A and B are shown apart, each in its own frame.
Chain A
Amino acid sequence: MQAREQWMERILSDLMVDIQNLTFSRGERLIYDGMSMQVKRGQVTAIMGPSGIGKTTLLKLIGGQLKPERGDILYQGRSIPKMSRAELYQTRKSMSMLFQSGALFSEMTVFDNVAFPIREHTKLPETLIRTMVLMKLEAVGLRGARDLMPSELSGGMARRAALARAIALDPQLIMYDEPFAGQDPISMGIVVKLIRELNNALGLTSIVVSHDVPEVMSIADYVYVVAEKHVIGEGTPEQLRQHASPLVQQFLKGEADGAVPFHFKAAPYADELMELL
């Protein structure tokens, strides 16, 4: 009885993802050292940080493609790293991830790409699948491009098509990996609008991993700034702008030198120049 109550509590809690004391390293390199963060249901949570700090790695950890060394990742109250393979696959049906490159299947048309998860996981008749796919494509403005192959799409269109595929099965959680990187201003504007609107219209929970400060600050409900293996600052965009940490301020304002030094770690300049003399 008590177990059941605990279970109900977890289901009803408003935490979608709860990362507790996460430690993870790749080879010799420590990427996260006891990091914690929470993602609330129904919100757009952004994770920002300089390149190369393993933001994509974090999404793969949440998706269960990588396992943490220590710490836990709870998804709707259930531990992702402790799940069996079958449970993990079952859980993944309720989450979805938009990869930086879009990762559309290159041998299928846009239509078949969007239809892929529906065909794999349901036994719906083809007429109904057609309707669903057209609805998803309409939502990202690509209904007219349904017969194109991924190689015929521009970068921005590929990402929108991938977004249509990501929402094909109406997931509860959607993770965006650098959705703004390498986009022209117009398609960037479209993606910003889509992330916010989809989150509100479909009642999704979104995690956006990015280093594009203005775009993130404009759509996120809550922001984590990650650097040096930890969360160095968190809060609503408004709170972050007032944040005391010089590192956070340097990141938000994009200053070249500051708490994060401009120079990669090296021996003193004068010493190295004099070495050969």
Chain B
Amino acid sequence: MFVNRLQRLGADTIQTVAGLGRATLMLIGAVFGKPDVRKGFPLLIKQLYVVGVLSLLIIVVSGLFIGMVLGLQGYTVLVKFGAEGMLGPLVALSLLRELGPVVTALLFAGRAGSALTAEIGLMKATEQISSMEMMAVDPLRRIIAPRFWAGVISMPLLAVVFTAVGILGGHLVGVDWLGVDAGSYWSAMQANVDLYQDVFNGIIKSIVFAFVVMAIALHKGFDAVPTSEGIAKATTETVVTASLAVLAFDFVLTALMFGG
């Protein structure tokens, strides 16, 4: 009984470590492979459209609503202290430091990450990846690399869009609806937001999340068991693992950037 359990623990550990190893090798192959600009650039552009532009709508809509909720909740608390003039910084700092990068990454994992996993898993199931290998074309460079870089480029941009739209959403509720003074909304924001501490740190977070989400999504697809159950499982795992990883990395990064 005890030996069995120990055995299973050992097997699980070996599997996890082997999986991490494969993921790392894949990432290295995709990221540090010699890029071929002539062939790679059109592929990158196409993936930027698929991964980035097509995610724009969900990002804009979510950003707007999150900003509006922040405006509403923030106002109801701040007004008790007569501090509704601080609504601008509250909305802006929450979005820049946390909600922008984190929610974008979570939405991105759900929208683009799961789609990438399913796409690559299906390519594997229909032997497209295998046949590409047999044609002496490296699937890491042809399939994985452009998608990876498209994600890493588009996610920080999407986070910026999310944050900007969110600030406008806060303005919509706080200023246009609840009557906070527009001048104090913007000027307090300007006075309290620091370019390095808040804006750049947010963008750095977003870049880290992009690496994490893309690495997980692409690896889960590339490593999927090539059956319908296998792909379904891989897609679910992408969303779950990527979301948890984003939240965990967020805590670590926040502690490094703002703690102490």
- Whole-angstrom distance between the alpha carbons of A227 and B124 in the complex? 28
**Contacts of B133 on A, CB cut-off 8 Å?**
63, 65, 92
Partner of B138, one of A60, A89, A101: A89
**Contacts of A90 on B, CB cut-off 8 Å?**
136
B130 touches A120 (CB 8 A): no
> Does B24 sit at the interface, judged by CB under 8 A?
no
> Does A96 sit at the interface, judged by CB under 8 A?
yes
A99 touches B131 (CB 8 A): yes
B39 touches A120 (CB 8 A): yes
The digit string for B125-145, where 1 denotes a CB below 8 A from any CB of A, is 011101111111110001000
The digit string for A69-98, where 1 denotes a CB below 8 A from any CB of B, is 000000000000000000001101101110
The digit string for B56-72, where 1 denotes a CB below 8 A from any CB of A, is 00000000000000000
Q: How far is the CB of B32 from chain A (nearest CB, A)?
A: 14
Partner of B134, one of A92, A105, A120: A92
- Whole-angstrom distance between the alpha carbons of A90 and B137 in the complex? 10
| Chain A residue with Cβ nearest B129 | A103
SS of A interface (majority): mixed
- Whole-angstrom distance between the alpha carbons of A166 and B134 in the complex? 10
- Whole-angstrom distance between the alpha carbons of A179 and B126 in the complex? 16
Partner of B128, one of A65, A95, A105, A121: A105
**Contacts of A119 on B, CB cut-off 8 Å?**
39
Q: How far is the CB of A62 from chain B (nearest CB, A)?
A: 10
The digit string for B88-128, where 1 denotes a CB below 8 A from any CB of A, is 00000000000000000000000000000000000100111
B136 touches A93 (CB 8 A): yes
Partner of A120, one of B128, B131, B135: B135
SS of B interface (majority): helix
B136 touches A103 (CB 8 A): no
- Whole-angstrom distance between the alpha carbons of A251 and B209 in the complex? 57
A63 touches B39 (CB 8 A): no
A89 touches B127 (CB 8 A): no
- Whole-angstrom distance between the alpha carbons of A75 and B137 in the complex? 19
- Whole-angstrom distance between the alpha carbons of A162 and B126 in the complex? 13
B138 touches A99 (CB 8 A): no
**Contacts of A96 on B, CB cut-off 8 Å?**
134-135
Partner of A89, one of B126, B130, B136: B136
B128 touches A63 (CB 8 A): no
| Chain A residue with Cβ nearest B131 | A103
Q: How far is the CB of A271 from chain B (nearest CB, A)?
A: 30
CB within 8 Å of A: which B136-165 residues: 136-138, 142
- Whole-angstrom distance between the alpha carbons of A37 and B148 in the complex? 43
Partner of A103, one of B39, B127, B138: B127
B137 touches A103 (CB 8 A): no
**Contacts of B135 on A, CB cut-off 8 Å?**
92, 96, 116-117, 120
**Contacts of B127 on A, CB cut-off 8 Å?**
99-101, 103
| Chain B residue with Cβ nearest A94 | B136
> Does A106 sit at the interface, judged by CB under 8 A?
yes
Q: How far is the CB of A90 from chain B (nearest CB, A)?
A: 7
Q: How far is the CB of A161 from chain B (nearest CB, A)?
A: 12
**Contacts of A162 on B, CB cut-off 8 Å?**
131
A101 touches B137 (CB 8 A): no
A106 touches B136 (CB 8 A): no
**Contacts of B126 on A, CB cut-off 8 Å?**
101, 103, 106
| Chain A residue with Cβ nearest B125 | A101
- Whole-angstrom distance between the alpha carbons of A103 and B123 in the complex? 9
Q: How far is the CB of B229 from chain A (nearest CB, A)?
A: 18
| Chain B residue with Cβ nearest A105 | B128
| Chain A residue with Cβ nearest B36 | A120
**Contacts of B137 on A, CB cut-off 8 Å?**
116-117, 120
Q: If A103-B127, A105-B128 touch, does A121 touch B134 (CB 8 Å cutoff)?
A: no
- Whole-angstrom distance between the alpha carbons of A70 and B179 in the complex? 79
| Chain B residue with Cβ nearest A104 | B128
A97 touches B134 (CB 8 A): yes
**Contacts of A65 on B, CB cut-off 8 Å?**
130, 133-134
Q: How far is the CB of B212 from chain A (nearest CB, A)?
A: 26
**Contacts of A95 on B, CB cut-off 8 Å?**
134
Q: Pick the most buried of B126, B128, B131: most chain A CB atoms within 10 A of its CB.
A: B131
B131 touches A97 (CB 8 A): yes
**Contacts of A99 on B, CB cut-off 8 Å?**
127, 130-131
- CB pairs A–B below 8 angstroms (30 shown): A60-B130, A63-B133, A63-B134, A65-B130, A95-B134, A96-B134, A97-B134, A99-B127, A99-B130, A99-B131, A101-B126, A101-B127, A103-B126, A103-B128, A103-B130, A103-B131, A104-B128, A105-B128, A105-B132, A106-B123, A106-B128, A116-B135, A116-B137, A117-B135, A117-B137, A119-B39, A120-B39, A120-B135, A120-B136, A121-B136
By Cβ-Cβ distance, the 10 closest A-B pairs, closest first, are A103-B131, A103-B127, A92-B136, A97-B134, A89-B136, A99-B127, A93-B136, A117-B135, A120-B137, A103-B128
